[in-house]
Amino acid sequence: MRNLRRQAVRDHLIRYGGDSFPHLFRSASGTIVVDDTGRAVLDFTSGQMCATIGHNHPAIKEAIRKSADTAMHMFSGMIPEAVADLAIKLAEWVPEPLSKSLMVNTGSESNEAALRIAKLATGGYEVVALGGSWHGTTGASAAASFASDRRGYGPKVPGNHAIPEPNAYRCPIEHCRDHCDMTCMKVGLKMFDMASDGAPAAVIAEPIISAGGVIVPPKGYFTALAEACRSRGMLLIFDEAQTAFGRIGHRFAATQLGVTPDIMTVSKTLGGGLPLAATITSDPIEDVAHQRGFSFYTSHVSDPLPAMAGLAVLQTIERDGLVERAKEMGTYLEQALSGLQQRYEVIGDVRGQGLLLGVELVKDRESREPFHTLGARTTERCFELGLSMNIRRRTERGSVWRIAPPLTVSRAEIDRGVTILDQALRESLDSLAGETS
């Protein structure tokens, strides 16, 4: 049966890009996934960042059982009690004046809704995003994504502009080194102003640019960006798909930064493994959008099943103190990775916050030339040894591991993961050296 299923993957599934593995997978629990040979693998991706509180958490399973006994889906115009409960809980979590939520399924959807609201509320249509950004694969969200996957699909939604990302380690405008003075933003906004048709609507940004290489903008960056939005009559959208609900050791990046966006989108870290996302804004912005005819009437808007799961995620984070735990475990993991950096010249940079960390691989620290071969080989060897993580930005602009275990990860699991990474790096470097000798 195992071989038949593997053959079915080759014969009957459309390949959708990204990392692929030689085996199928059977089960998942906590930080562990099990493949079809029965081998356990430590998951330092949190299941594409979605298993915030670990795979198959008991609270999520109980929420699913409760939904099965009450309702899993309803007519889109009917608001389930679970959705109202989740809206109350989200309003308690988010910074003021954010208070109104739209419950959808994916990060792409939440960003589509955010951009539609921004365009209606401002009357404009031009959107600015950061280089290296990833906001989704649907129309407007894909047009505002600049990390990858832009080629071959024809024209994008009109009105989208990119400004260089604030990457101090690998400055996109070749201006800074190790300290970003935000010239990238100033130049990018000047270019936007020159290209603008006079219909600005929004700036959309990840507070930590995750798919673009786990880039943490410098202090003051988003304060300045918010002011740039105000001066142009644009709304600021924070895409907190990967930074919300404790992932970085804070409730949100917005609360840590002291900058509240006009619209916030949340997704991956909310559903506990189920497809759930939300678009959150203030009363005045929601009212203007509503008066101008805002519509996002989809088949699975306000579904009760994922809403129950989202409520269980937030209650578990609160009950178990997982925001503080993410800060503590993130510090422990970052120190361990920095220890590897001291031993391996090929680790050029360790960065990130909480349990969202990036490790950049270089051929040497002076030139900072990306070491793509080592990244690919070590990632493969890590998986063979029982550790799953993924590599980001396989381009001339960096080769970066994104390491993001669940908020429930233990010190022992971190120690095991770092030990595997150490062994995989050592063996991969020895192998490459043998090939060139």
| pLDDT digits 0-9 by tens, 276-302 | 999 999 999 999 999 999 999 999 999
pLDDT, average across residues 102-131: 98
- Among 36-45, 142-151, 254-263, which stretch is predicted with the lowest mean pLDDT? 142-151
Whether 437 shows a pLDDT value over 80: the answer reads no
CATH number of the domain within which 403 lies:
3.90.1150.10
pLDDT, average across residues 372-384: 93
User: Which is higher by pLDDT, 7 or 29?
Assistant: 29
pLDDT, average across residues 328-349: 97
Note whether 364 and 331 are same-domain residues.
Answer: yes
Of the candidates 257, 312, 303, the residue with the CA atom closest to the CA atom of residue 277: 303
Note whether 365 and 417 are same-domain residues.
Answer: yes
pLDDT reported for residue 393: 58
Note whether 150 and 30 are same-domain residues.
Answer: no
In the sheet that holds 356-361, the strands lie side by side as 347-353, 356-361, 398-403, 390-395
Burial of 319 (0-12, 13-18, 19+ CB in 10 A): exposed
Q: In the predicted model, what is the mean pLDDT of the chain?
A: 95
Residues 6+ apart with CB under 8 A from 66: 308
Q: Provide the domain limits for residue 353.
A: 7-56+322-436
Does 206 map to a domain? yes
pLDDT, average across residues 160-187: 96
Whether 20 shows a pLDDT value over 80: the answer reads no
pLDDT reported for residue 391: 77
Confidence tier at 397 by pLDDT (50, 70, 90): low
**Percent share of the chain, pLDDT over 90:** 90
Note whether 145 and 288 are same-domain residues.
Answer: yes
pLDDT reported for residue 394: 55
Q: What is the DSSP-derived secondary structure letter of residue 150?
A: -
pLDDT reported for residue 81: 97
pLDDT reported for residue 396: 63
Note whether 39 and 81 are same-domain residues.
Answer: no
Does 17 map to a domain? yes
pLDDT reported for residue 22: 81
Note whether 162 and 87 are same-domain residues.
Answer: yes
Confidence tier at 258 by pLDDT (50, 70, 90): very high
Of the candidates 269, 430, 416, the residue with the CA atom closest to the CA atom of residue 332: 416
pLDDT reported for residue 21: 81
Distance of alpha carbon 15 from alpha carbon 407, whole angstroms: 30
The catalytic residues are 134, 206, 239, 242, 268, 402
Question: How many domains would you assign to the chain?
Answer: 2
210 close to 244: Cβ distance less than 8 angstroms:
no
The CA-atom distances, in angstroms, between 353 and each of 2, 215, 332, 390 are: 40, 10, 11, 17
Note whether 50 and 161 are same-domain residues.
Answer: no
* Cα pseudo-dihedral 25, 107, 254, 282, rounded to 10: -140
Note whether 297 and 432 are same-domain residues.
Answer: no
